[in-house]
Structure 1
């Protein structure tokens, strides 16, 4: 922890870029960095989108935003637009990710092509800046499946050596999610490969994250919140996504958004750091999640997991070995996600009066 405190000395003079600054994780990270005293360059696809730009500007008091927050317009489908935001920054957080393909694009066939090219372009921009010390990529643990490549089931545990074998089939998979996994997997591998270059100008850290939930600064719900609350909300589509993840991962890894952003800042503030670090506070099965809610809300008719599946856990914690500690466990993540869903009107509060 002493290293973290040392890293925060004179933070006002340290410029940090956050791509996707108005997103679920991005907005939480921007607020955390501003609260810690950093100067933040946040990118949005459209600075003229007042709903998103206003959200970012409103994260901190106006005077702070005027002094230490700058908004830049940039788009992963035109990655050259990130250069002004990166210019002069010491650290770059790559949080933005293309979820839906831009059908008007004549350059890319899908989001995977766009994300991979953006990673390459941004690496060059970071080199050209002459100021960037470290790039920190927010990955997805969906690209870290412990499925065996020979299709014989799961490995004994999940760790940073796991990469999702897309050629291996599994129940409930979807073509759209496959494209998302491919975009995250290719981007992460491209970024990590930079560390092995002849003379890298900066360090690259990737942080594949579990299902991120718990709270949001946005005025609408998020995929992670919707999915974790789905046994209560009876949202069959989101519950199906959890069922698919269980078959892909051997668990439903979960982490609170605040812990994710603490982990990202932790990776930034260390004197030196490279490589891949999984970010998950717990590895419950889908049955564990349903059982938690069944015990807390016995009067509700919940969606239930009827299929059996192995439970694959992590037997190591690289972030923890460096001193990082999660503040939220499985129960806190699930309960705070439901509380957030109620606050956003996604779940009828009268049905779960024990929460109130």
Structure 2
């Protein structure tokens, strides 16, 4: 139904964005991809080198801290994939006090542009499973309790988490409140909104460096302290570490694009290993390597996970072993692991 559509991808040179742009071009779509800086030759060349880019890829300068810039890229599109997210404050910006304010303003501006366009049918947001913590009682869980992590789960932003510092707190607030803001548009002026709250993304990349989420996947092997702390935070917040391959994420994004009509929130993760299981996979696959065995597994509880996306007919291709192995092999390929 959607073959040959014109689509917009915000953050087109990022980890998920670049993989998604490649898939869209492979399937014959016209792609409007946004970048923060069109003078960044490495990012521009990455996208322009993709098959089909000469005929069907158009690049636009647009960034979260100047949200009005997205309107040109959105014009004439049928679908908008909002992938871009601000990870750090813009030191030259005085309009927004933090990344959350900037992200919310961009979401509102993008939705307004979509409503004005007269062409956009659906906005698809790439969210984070970190916005869907099933816990609401703080860090400690007394006894063995059972929780459900589904599309009604929202991370309680007022609760402290042991491994959450300023960067992680800003990210969780930004992703959670932006997703809620976008989902508040319930078919306004005919524009449907879908969000995919994605697990930790890894497995492969077309970038020339290891993306941040992949660094977290392989942190017990690399020993990177910040990434390892973030892996502990995921376990602490979610009761496990939801994993999803980048190809499965993009297939899921295309899956919801191609539905005749769809709206609402969907959790997107193919597996939910405990941190201890990730360590065991790395020990088994890379014998002799120095593996960090310091794991966060303090919650004595069981978490049941949503299968809403599967119930619609979506199928994941990659399991936890493949995601971990693919992430390590990619890191080796780009020289991040010897």
Same fold, judged at TM 0.5 (above): yes
Q: What does residue 311 of structure 2 align with?
A: 321
How far apart are the structure 2 equivalents of 1:118 and 1:215? 29
Partner in structure 1 of residue 110 of structure 2: 122
Equivalenced residues, count: 334
1:58 corresponds to 2:58: no
Q: TM-score, normalised by structure 1?
A: 0.90
Aligned to 2:263: 274
Quote how far apart the aligned CAs of 1:314 are: 3.6
| 1:141 matched to 2:141 | no
Instruction: Show the counterpart of 1:79.
Output: 67
2:249 to 260, 263, 286: 260
CA distance in 2, matches of 1:308, 1:229: 18
When structure 1 is superposed on structure 2, of 222-231 and 105-114 the one drifting more is: 222-231
Q: Distance in 1 between matches of 2:42 and 2:48?
A: 10
- Residue 296 of structure 1: CA displacement? 2.1
Moved more, 238-247 or 185-194: 238-247
Structure 1 residues not aligned, in runs of 5+: 1-6, 349-356
**CA–CA distance in structure 1, aligned partners of residues 56 and 295 of structure 2:** 51
Q: Secondary structure at the match of 2:184?
A: helix
Aligned pair 1:340/2:326, yes or no?
no
2:88 corresponds to 1:100: yes
CA displacement 1:74-93 (0-9 Å, x = unmatched): 11111110111000000000
What is the TM-score normalised by the length of structure 2? 0.95
Write the distance in 1 (CA, Å) between the matches of 2:6 and 2:296: 49
Listed one character per residue, the Cα deviations across residues 264-313 of structure 1 (whole Å, up to 9, x for unaligned) are: 00010000000000110110111110011112223222100355333654
CA contact (8 A) 2:275 2:295 kept: no
Out of 269, 274, 277, the position equivalent to 1:285 is 274
Q: Distance in 1 between matches of 2:89 and 2:32?
A: 25
Counterparts in 2 of 1:307 and 1:224: CA distance versus 1, 3 Å: closer
Greater shift in the superposed pair: 146-155 or 279-288: 146-155
Residues 293-332 of structure 1 correspond to what in structure 2 (within 5 A)?
293-310=282-299, 312-332=302-322
Structure with the higher fraction of residues in strand conformation: 2
Give 5+ residue unaligned stretches, structure 2. none
1:219 equivalent in structure 2: 208
Q: Say yes or no: does 1:239 pair with 2:257.
A: no
Checking the alignment, whether the CA contact within 8 Å between 2:232 and 2:295 is kept in structure 1 is no
**Aligned partners of 1:151 and 1:172: how far apart in 2?**
11
- Per mean C-alpha deviation after superposition, the further-off stretch among 150-159 and 289-298 is 150-159
